[in-house]
Chains A and B, each alone.
Chain A
Amino acid sequence: MSLINAENVTFEYIRRDKDGAVEGINRAVDEVSITLEKGDFIAILGHNGSGKSTLAKHFNALLHPLEGTVYVNGYDTRDEGHLWDIRQTVGMVFQNPDNQIIGTVVEEDVAFGPENMGIKSREIWERVVRSLKSVDMYEFRKDSPQRLSGGQKQRVAIAGVLAMQPQCIVLDEPTAMLDPQGRREIIDAVTELNRKEGITVILITHYMEEVLNANKVFVMDKGRIVMQGTPRQIFKHADELKEIGLTVPSAALFAGELRKRGIEIPDGILTTEELVKEICRSLRII
C-alpha cells in the first residue's frame, strides 16, 4: 500500500463579489494524480500561484478535493473517522515561522502536537527531547521562540511535527522567508531526517537548488503536473522551465551556455562540483 495516493484531484477556489455572487472560479489544482511511497523524498516545484501549496494541503486533510480522492495509508481523507490518524501520519510545516508557533517556550511548543493526541506526560517529554535533538535545537529548549532566528524557528516547527511521530512531513515553502544560512539549515535538517530516520518528505519550493536531494521532482503549472522525474531529468529542460516562470540551478545553466558555444559538456549537470569536474575533464581531452 502506498503512503499517499492522490487520484485525479481537482480543487477550485470560488471568488465572490460583495453581494456574494460568484465572480470567478479559479481551478487551483487540476486533475492531479500522485503516488508516494514510504521513504520517498519528493519535491514539488512551481511558480507563485501554480497550485503547489493547495495540492499540499490535501495530503493531510486540511483541504478536501472537489473531485477525485486522496488516500493516506489507505484512508480516504474525507473519512472523518480517521481524520486524526491522517494528520498524525502526515505532518505539515508552513512558510511563515511566526504563524505556527503556539507555545511561549520552545519545549512547550514542540509538545503541542503530542498533547493533542493524548499522549502521557512521560512519553511527551521523551518525544520532545528526541525531536529537538534530531533538528539540533535541544540546547534552546527553555528559550522563547520569539528570540530565535528564522532558521531556528523553522527547525522548532519541524521538531513540533516530529514529536507527533509522523511517517511523512510536508514542508510548504519552509525557506521562503529565511536568509541563506537559515535555508541551508532547513534543507540539511530535512535531508538528514529522510536519510537517517526514513521519514518521507514532500518539499514544496521555488528554489531550484533545494530540490537536488529529492529522488523525484514534480513540476506544477496552472494546477497541473507538467513534468516529473529525477532532478537530473527535470533540469535538462531549461527552456520549458523558463516558459513557466522557473529556471534551472545555475551550474546547469552554466553547462548549457558552454554547450551552446560548442564546448563538450555532458547533459544533466546539477552541482558546481560536477560542472567543474566536467570542465577540467573536457579541457584535458583537448
Chain B
Amino acid sequence: MSIIADHLTYTYNRGTAYEKKAVNDVSFSIKDGEYVALIGHTGSGKSTLIQLLNGLLRPLSGTVYVNGEDIFEKDYDLHALRGKVGIVFQYPEYQLFEEDVFTDVCFGPKNLGLDRQETELRAYEALKMVELPDEAFFQSPFDLSGGEKRRAAIAGVLAMKPEVLILDEPVAGLDPAGREWIFRLLSKLRKERSTTVILVSHSMDDIAEHAERILVVNDGSIVMDGAPAEVFSYNKELMEMGLDIPQVSKVLYMLKENGINVNTDIVTFKQAIAEVAGLFEKARY
C-alpha cells in the first residue's frame, strides 16, 4: 500500500495568540513494503504529520493519497482507512479500557464491522504475535505489568491487520529487552504480512539497524530524505537539530579523523565490526 503526502500544511490554534505551523508544505511518497523512520526533536511536527497520514487530522491545504485515492475527498471512507493504516500512539497502554485483555483487542476489528468469529480469530492471532502469555488473555489489562500492557495495546492495533503500521516512539520507557522485542515484532510483521512500517523514534542506533530510509523533520518541514548511510553523514546538521547519529557511525568517523581509511557509509553494528576486523586483517598481511 503506497502513501503519498502532497504539499501538506497544518496549523494549530489558528487565529489565536498561540498559532503554530506544525506541518509546512510537506511532500513525500512511501512505497509498498518500505521500512521508513521519521526523526525529529520533540515538537518538530512528526506527531502531527502521522495523524494527517490516516486522516485523524484534516490538513489546512494539501492532501494524502493512499493507493492513489485522495483520503480527504468527500466520498472517501475514512473509517475503512483506519483498518488499513494503523497507528500505535506513544504510550499506547494508556488506551486500554475493557475488562479483559482479549475483549480490548477485539475492539478494533469489531469497529471494522467484522463478524464475531473473524474478530476473535484476529484478536487471538494478534495476541500470539506480541508474545503475550496465554494466562494474561483474560486478565484485566490494568493488572498487567508495564511491558505486558504495551504488548496488549499494540495487539489491539495489529488485530485490525493494517497494511501500513505507523508507530510513534514504541520503545519509549522500555528497557533493553523490551526494545529488542519491539524490533523483533516489526521484522516478523514485515516478513509474514509484508507490512509497510513508518517508525517515529529517537533512537538512532535502532533506526540504523532496521530502517531502509529516513525522513528528517525539522520545524514542520522535511529537511532530509535518504538511506541511513546518507542521512547520518550529515553529522553536524543532525546535532544542531537536537538529534544524534548512531554510535557505530561515531566510531567510524572518529577512526577516519585519526587517519584510518574506513568506509563511513556503514551504519549497522555487524557490518561495522566486519569493517574494523577487516582493517586488522589487512594490517596483518
Contact = CB atoms under 8 A, between A and B. Distances in A.
Interface of A: 15, 47-49, 149-150, 173, 176-182, 206, 208, 245-247, 250-251, 253-254, 257-258, 261, 263, 272-273, 275-276, 279-280, 282-283, 286
Interface string B107-150: 00000000000000000000000000000000000010111000
A286 B254 CA distance: 20
B67 to A, nearest CB: 33
Interface stretch (B155-163, B168-176, B189-197, B214-222): B168-176
A261 B93 CA distance: 42
Contacts of A182: 42
A279 B176 contact: no
A149 B44 CA distance: 11
Given A179-B202, A263-B277, A149 B176 contact: no
A257 B273 contact: yes
Contacts of B172: 176-177
A272 B284 CA distance: 24
By DSSP majority rule, is chain B's interface helix, strand, loop, or mixed?
helix
Contacts of A279: 251, 255, 260, 276, 279
Interface stretch (B4-12, B54-62, B241-249): B241-249
Given A250-B248, A254-B272, A206 B280 contact: no
Q: List the 3 closest A-B pairs by CB distance, nearest first.
A: A181-B242, A245-B177, A47-B175
B135 to A, nearest CB: 13
A49 B147 contact: yes
Given A250-B248, A263-B280, A282-B280, A245 B42 contact: no
B178 A48 contact: yes
Given A47-B175, A49-B147, 17 more contacts: A15-B143, A47-B176, A48-B174, A48-B178, A49-B145, A179-B242, A181-B242, A182-B42, A246-B177, A250-B269, A251-B247, A251-B251, A254-B269, A258-B276, A279-B276, A282-B280, A286-B283
Contacts of B176: 47, 206, 208, 245-247
Nearest to A95: B173
Contacts of B258: 276, 280
A254 B273 contact: yes
B202 A250 contact: no
A250 to B, nearest CB: 4
A258 B204 CA distance: 22
Interface string B227-257: 0000000000000001110011011001100
Given A149-B43, A245-B176, A275 B251 contact: yes
A241 B87 CA distance: 33
Given A47-B177, A49-B147, A181-B242, A258 B277 contact: yes
Nearest to B40: A179
B100 interface: no
Contacts of A273: 254
Contacts of B277: 258, 261, 263
Contact of B251 (A208, A276, A282): A276
A272 B280 contact: no
A16 B259 CA distance: 64
A283 B277 CA distance: 10
Nearest to A257: B273
B260 A283 contact: yes
B221 to A, nearest CB: 18
B273 A179 contact: no
Most buried by B among A176, A179, A258, A263: A179
B152 to A, nearest CB: 15
A48 B254 contact: no
A178 B169 CA distance: 11
B41 interface: yes
B205 interface: yes
B172 to A, nearest CB: 7
Contact of A286 (B202, B276, B280): B280
